[in-house]
Structures are given as C-alpha cells and as structure tokens.
C-alpha cells in the first residue's frame, strides 16, 4: 500500500531499495561521524598545604603590628577630635 510502489514500476522500486540498502551499509562501514578520544587523566600526587611552624610567626607578628598601628591612628584621631570639641566649647561659652 505504499504510494511509491503504485507510481513506479516494480523494477525501479527494487533498484531504489537496493541503492538505499547499499547507502545504509556504507554508512555503517564508515562508522560514526563524530570521533571522540578518551581523555587521559594524569595521576598526580595530591599536595598537602600545611604551613610550617616557622612561617606562622611572621604572619601573626605582622598582623599584630597592623592592629596596633590601626588602634594608634584611631586613638590619635579620637583624641584630636576630643580636643577640638573642648576648644569649641570654651571659645563658644566666652563669646
């Protein structure tokens, strides 16, 4: 009940079927169109990142120094502001 069988003579239909089968066989011989290769994963020993005891001291010293410097600058700013406010009160009350 194929429409192509009714429209074409039987010999032509058989010829077309043979050609189709040959194309399918050639496609199977060719294999897939996309070829992939397995990605080799190199075996690398894991690195252990552990700080040495000698390296911890300079970092902690520098952090302490940075905190001390910050505290000194903030205290100096606060003292200057306090002094400024005190001088404004004294001069404002006299005038």
Residue-wise pLDDT tens digits, 33-64: 777 788 888 888 887 877 666 655 667 788 99
Residues 16 and 1: their CA atoms lie apart, in Å, by: 17
The percent of residues in the chain predicted with pLDDT above 90, rounded, is: 25
User: Looking at residues 1-6, what average pLDDT do you find?
Assistant: 50
Instruction: Give the other-Cβ count within 10 Å of 8's Cβ.
Output: 14
Instruction: Show the 3-state SS of the chain.
Output: CCHHHHHCCHHHHHHHHHHHHHHHHHHHHHCCCCCCCCCCCCCCCCCCCCCCHHHHHHHHHHHHHHHHHHHHHHHHHHHHHHHHHHHHHHHHHHC
48 against 30, higher pLDDT = 48
pLDDT reported for residue 73: 97
């Amino acid at each position: 009940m194929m429409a192509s069988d009714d429209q074409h003579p039987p010999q032509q239909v058989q010829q077309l079927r043979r050609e189709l089968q040959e194309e399918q066989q050639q496609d199977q011989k060719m294999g897939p169109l996309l070829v992939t290769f397995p990605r080799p994963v190199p075996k690398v020993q894991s690195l252990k990142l552990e700080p040495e005891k000698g390296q911890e001291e300079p970092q902690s010293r520098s952090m302490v120094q940075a905190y001390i410097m910050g505290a000194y600058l903030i205290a100096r700013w606060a003292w200057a502001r306090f002094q400024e406010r005190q001088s404004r009160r004294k001069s404002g009350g006299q005038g």
